[in-house]
């Protein structure tokens, strides 16, 4: 029996590569894709998801969702991914149409129809927050909720304190972390350094001579330049595919631990910061006043601290063959 995956995405260049990995995995059935405003507006995100599904020759319904965060204006990352999120290569419109049902309702229905499914989130958590607020019981029906987001105990990529997906909609992220969903947090730190595709990795992918390999490199062209400006690191950085790799095989993560996590929603300076109780002190008497809400809900999240970069890149190459 293939595992059922539900993927929520603000589809831009790295999201597309993650979708390809799931759509090409032999032991996975992607039962639905839901889209959200994040890197680009939700309409463009939907268009990009449909294009990626078609490129893979797959048939998966795509449900458009939230056009903006729960309580804030939508701020995109077109400065990173290009105006279309795909590096501005004029990709055509897919033949398949988006579904009519709102993503939040699709998430509820899909989880109820597939109890035990794996939920993978690649964008701001607005749709998931709307779904768990409307039907809190779905949280217990998800076997794993793999979240690409956050910068646990290290620097952010959109502000010094926060990673993009969490920063865009911190209220939604907080709702999700406190919902009882079995969160596995894949932070931005995991896709940096040796996880970045260097020239030799990129040549290897292009050498596969497949349309998926060419697309994966091409649609990340603007993202590569932006990442160089942002970090000084040269290459293609792929946060969502790293998260998908861990969703497909958590043993690629070499260091996991379980903690309380809270999300900063009130500060201007640290908006969207993923505060991880790494030393397990949240439950101490002296921290109780601030941490009591989180501790009382017992929503322990698994946090991944390190991955096996050789195995991550092998998994990517296999998907692009
Ligand atoms: C995350 O933000 C987006 O730009 C990427 O698609 C990824 O989901 C990385 O911070
Ligand atoms: Ca994304």
**Residue 96 buriedness (CB in 10 A; 0-12 / 13-18 / 19+):** middle
CATH number at residue 132: 3.90.245.10
Q: CB within 6 Å of ligand 1 — which residues?
A: 12, 14-15, 39, 77, 80, 122-123, 148, 157, 163-165, 188, 239-240
Q: Ligand 1 centroid vs 139 CA: distance in angstroms?
A: 24
Domain count, the chain: 1
Q: Ligand 1 centroid vs 121 CA: distance in angstroms?
A: 10
| DSSP character at residue 197 | B
Closest ligand to residue 272's CA: 1
Q: Ligand 1 centroid vs 283 CA: distance in angstroms?
A: 32
- For a substitution probing ligand 1, which of 52, 163, 165, 224 has the most ligand atoms within 8 Å of its CB? 165
Q: Ligand 1 centroid vs 107 CA: distance in angstroms?
A: 21
Q: Which domain holds residue 23?
A: 3-320
What are φ and ψ of residue 86, in 5° steps?
Answer: -120, 25
Buried b (16+ CB within 10 A) or exposed e, 161-177: bbbbbbbbbbbbbbbbb
Q: Which atom of ligand 1 is nearest to the CA of 123?
A: 8
Q: Ligand 2 centroid vs 110 CA: distance in angstroms?
A: 21
Q: Which atom of ligand 1 is nearest to the CA of 164?
A: 10
- pLDDT tens-place values along the chain, 321 residues long: 899 999 999 999 999 999 999 999 999 999 999 999 999 999 999 999 999 999 999 999 999 999 999 999 999 999 999 999 999 999 999 999 999 999 999 999 999 999 999 999 999 999 999 999 999 999 999 999 999 999 998 899 999 999 999 999 999 999 999 999 999 999 999 999 999 999 999 999 999 999 999 999 999 999 999 999 999 999 999 999 999 999 999 999 999 999 999 999 999 999 999 999 999 999 999 999 999 999 999 888 999 999 999 999 999 999 999
The pTM score is 0.98
- For a substitution probing ligand 1, which of 13, 16, 38 has the most ligand atoms within 8 Å of its CB? 38
- For a substitution probing ligand 1, which of 41, 122, 222 has the most ligand atoms within 8 Å of its CB? 122
| DSSP character at residue 286 | G
Closest ligand to residue 80's CA: 1
Q: Ligand 2 centroid vs 268 CA: distance in angstroms?
A: 23
- DSSP letters of 71-133? SS-----HHHH-TTSS-S--PPPPSSPPPSS-HHHHHHHHHHHSTTEEEEE-S-SHHHHHHHH
**What pLDDT is stored for residue 154 in this prediction?**
86
């Amino acid at each position: 029996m293939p595992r059922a995956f539900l993927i929520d995405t603000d589809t831009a260049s790295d999201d597309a590569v993650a979708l390809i990995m799931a759509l090409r995995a032999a032991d996975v059935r992607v039962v639905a894709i839901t889209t959200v405003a994040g890197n680009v507006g939700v309409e463009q995100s939907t268009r990009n998801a449909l294009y990626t599904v078609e490129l893979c020759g797959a048939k998966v319904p795509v449900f458009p969702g939230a056009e903006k965060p729960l309580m804030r204006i939508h701020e995109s990352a077109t400065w990173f991914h290009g105006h279309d999120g795909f590096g501005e290569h004029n990709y055509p419109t897919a033949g398949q149409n988006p579904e009519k049902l709102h993503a939040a309702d699709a998430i509820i229905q899909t989880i109820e129809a597939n109890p035990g499914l794996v939920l993978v989130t690649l964008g701001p958590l607005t749709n998931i927050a709307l779904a768990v607020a409307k039907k809190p019981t779905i949280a217990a029906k998800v076997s794993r909720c793999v979240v690409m987001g956050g910068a646990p105990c290290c620097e952010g990529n959109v502000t010094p304190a926060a990673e993009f997906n969490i920063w865009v909609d911190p209220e939604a992220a907080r709702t999700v972390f406190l919902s009882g969903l079995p969160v596995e947090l894949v932070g931005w730190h995991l896709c940096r350094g040796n996880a970045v595709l260097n020239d030799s990795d990129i040549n290897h992918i292009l050498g596969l001579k497949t349309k998926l390999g060419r697309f994966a490199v091409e649609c990340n062209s603007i993202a590569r330049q932006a990442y160089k400006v942002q970090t000084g690191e040269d290459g293609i950085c792929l946060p969502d595919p790293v998260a998908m790799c861990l969703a497909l095989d958590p043993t690629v993560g070499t260091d996991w631990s379980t903690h309380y996590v809270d999300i900063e929603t009130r500060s201007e300076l640290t908006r969207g910061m993923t505060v991880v109780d790494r030393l397990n002190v949240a439950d101490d008497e002296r921290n109780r006043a601030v941490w009591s809400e989180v501790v009382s809900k017992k929503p322990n999240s698994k946090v991944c601290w390190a991955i096996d970069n050789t195995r991550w890149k092998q998994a990517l190459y296999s998907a692009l063959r």
